[in-house]
Structure 1
Amino acid sequence: MIEWLTVAQVAVAIVAGLLCLVVGLAGRRPSDLTLGATALVELLLLVQLVVSIVSPAAGNTPTGDALEFGLYLGSAILLPVGAGFWALVDRSKWATVILGVANLAIAVMVYRMHEIWFVQGG
């Protein structure tokens, strides 16, 4: 993991999550704005996947459990896909709220991945 990328991912996921929550609770259905914000979060997660594969080869190995990190990353990558699919199937305001909750959960998961990578002892 790269620290500045982690900060950017958490910030984008929080902004996207709050945006989707506000828009959803205001009664709006999923739109290009909310699905696009979730797609941006997914794109950053895919960048994180590439970085986490390349980093150990460059000498930046995790201090925590690599399996736990991988499971968090895999789950985080699947979360916006599932929420986006839900938003495309169920075109109600609650689908937009689900997008917001998923994005906020991803922010927490990325922060936890950062802790696993840097903070824990091997």
Structure 2
Amino acid sequence: MIGWFAIVQVVVATVVGIAAIAAGLAGRRPGDVTVGGMALVLLLLIAQVVIAVVAPLVGNAPAGSPIEFWAYLIGALLIPPLAVFWALVERSRWSTVIMGIAALSVAVMVWRMNVIWTTPAL
């Protein structure tokens, strides 16, 4: 895992999450900005999958549990598309808030993945 890329992912997911929650609480339904933000979060997660596959091959193996890391990564990959699907099916202001909460959840999961990758298992 690349440290600066993890920080970029956390910042982007946090900004998308806060923007979506604010839009939802302002009464806005899912739109291009909120759904596009979730698409960006998903795109960064897909890039993280590529990094997680290539990094051990070039000498940057995880210090912690690889199984725990991959469980977090696969879980995080499922959150954005499911949140967008829910938002597009329901199309209410609360589904926009749910997308925001989903983005914030991804931010926390990416930070945890970074900790798992860089901290040796006990």
TM-score, normalised relative to structure 2: 0.98
The answer for the alignment partner of 2:54 in structure 1 is 54
Q: Does 1:33 align with 2:33?
A: yes
Q: Does 1:121 align with 2:111?
A: no
Q: Does 1:44 align with 2:28?
A: no
The answer for the alignment partner of 1:65 in structure 2 is 65
Q: Which sections of structure 1, spanning at least 5 residues, go unmatched?
A: none
What secondary structure is seen at the aligned counterpart in 2 of 1:35? helix
* Residue 120 (structure 1) shift: 2.7
TM-score, normalised relative to structure 1: 0.98
Which 4+ stretches in 1 moved above 6 angstroms? none
Once residues 27 and 42 of structure 2 are traced to their aligned partners in structure 1, the CA distance between those partners, rounded to angstroms, is: 24
Q: CA offsets per residue over residues 11-49 of structure 1, 9 Å max, x none?
A: 000000000000000000000000000000000000000
Q: Which sections of structure 2, spanning at least 5 residues, go unmatched?
A: none
Identical-pair percentage: 52
Once residues 108 and 90 of structure 1 are traced to their aligned partners in structure 2, the CA distance between those partners, rounded to angstroms, is: 25
* Residue 121 (structure 1) shift: 3.1
The answer for the alignment partner of 2:23 in structure 1 is 23
Q: CA offsets per residue over residues 71-120 of structure 1, 9 Å max, x none?
A: 10000000001001001100000000000000000000000000000013
How many positions carry a matched residue from both structures? 122
Q: Equivalent residues in 2 for 1:90-109 (5 A)?
A: 90-109=90-109
Once residues 82 and 120 of structure 1 are traced to their aligned partners in structure 2, the CA distance between those partners, rounded to angstroms, is: 32
Alignment-mate amino acid for residue 96 of structure 1: T
Does structure 1 conserve the Cα–Cα contact (< 8 Å) formed by 2:65 and 2:121? no
Instruction: Calculate the aligned-residue CA RMSD, in Å.
Output: 0.8
Q: Does 1:75 align with 2:65?
A: no
* Residue 7 (structure 1) shift: 0.5
Does structure 1 conserve the Cα–Cα contact (< 8 Å) formed by 2:9 and 2:107? yes
Does structure 1 conserve the Cα–Cα contact (< 8 Å) formed by 2:30 and 2:95? yes
